[in-house]
A and B are shown apart, each in its own frame.
Chain A
């Protein structure tokens, strides 16, 4: 029942690429998550550690990451959450393959754990195929390949966001006031938050605001006025 309170207290996120800022701040969101029990918070942290890519520690190896992913999948039987994690990691594996090939790796990694899931073998076998022969399984792979060919990295990033957003919308069907709905909301919030950070003009304006705010009490230091 606590999920009903929590979900009803969260504002709608709207469309992915339209929001200038997330409709709820990280601070406020974290305060709302205080309603969760410790077991739910633990699951939430486990999922965040697996799918929140920008916050991955640099020293963590792919092998260590995969051990953690398999540990989560072995311990969590919730089908929606398992699908959420596996779909994201499948996507990340394909993106990793694209990046490796783009930086000149003519052959798949040998003797190295580099990807997750059932498609790793297929990707390795079809390393030289433009879409790794995955475009039937993941229709977005064709478009991703074309964008990379055109060096449109922003378009590539935007495509990934769109695919994940659609994926989350599908997973969220039938979940309105439960833990799955909350996890999906947080994953979508994270996308909105990250995309809104990508806006250059907004970032510059925000940077200036922060600089002005930071210097507000110290203007005299740089004004040449003798203290």
Chain B
């Protein structure tokens, strides 16, 4: 493979990485939180809906990945492939990790609020804070993408 082709491959990886990594992370996070929701439903007799709803929270990382992909999507050239690779891969990794850890936060929130329903709202705070960090990665990926040559 020539050097030019390798560089172009990196650019394509950068374009698709946010979607792929965001989707992988969201799958893991939703699975973790979903398992906790199932476990909690074995113990309680009501409030199933909010557990299931909460377990879907990490799916937002996949959406961020899709938006970043659309912003990065352009003809790949040797001039822009480095930028595409850097922003795409790193934002994707941020979504991946945020989704996994948000899944754990949601699982803890579900596990805690099954015994004390009154803490349900407050127990969402850690998951919301993780979401905040992912939003930082998302917004600044969009800002940085504005500087990549078309």
Binding site for B on A (CB under 8 A): 1-2, 4-12, 32, 176-177
Contacts and interface: CB of A to CB of B under 8 A. Distances in A.
Contacts of A7: 36, 39, 111
A4 B115 contact: no
Given A7-B39, A9-B38, A9-B42, 12 more contacts: A1-B31, A1-B32, A2-B35, A4-B32, A4-B36, A7-B111, A9-B40, A10-B39, A10-B43, A176-B111, A177-B36, A177-B104
Given A5-B39, A32-B42, A177 B115 contact: no
B48 to A, nearest CB: 13
Interface string B20-49: 000000000001100111111011000000
Nearest to A2: B35
A177 B38 CA distance: 14
A149 B104 CA distance: 48
A5 B43 contact: no
Q: Is the interface of B mostly helix, strand, loop or mixed?
A: helix
Interface of B: 31-32, 35-40, 42-43, 104, 107-108, 110-112, 114-115
Contacts of A176: 104, 107-108, 111
Nearest to B42: A9
Given A32-B42, A176-B104, A177-B104, A8 B36 contact: yes
B47 to A, nearest CB: 13
B43 A4 contact: no
Contacts of B114: 8, 11
Contacts of A177: 32, 36, 104, 107, 111
B31 A8 contact: no
A5 B107 CA distance: 9
Nearest to A5: B39
A11 B115 CA distance: 7
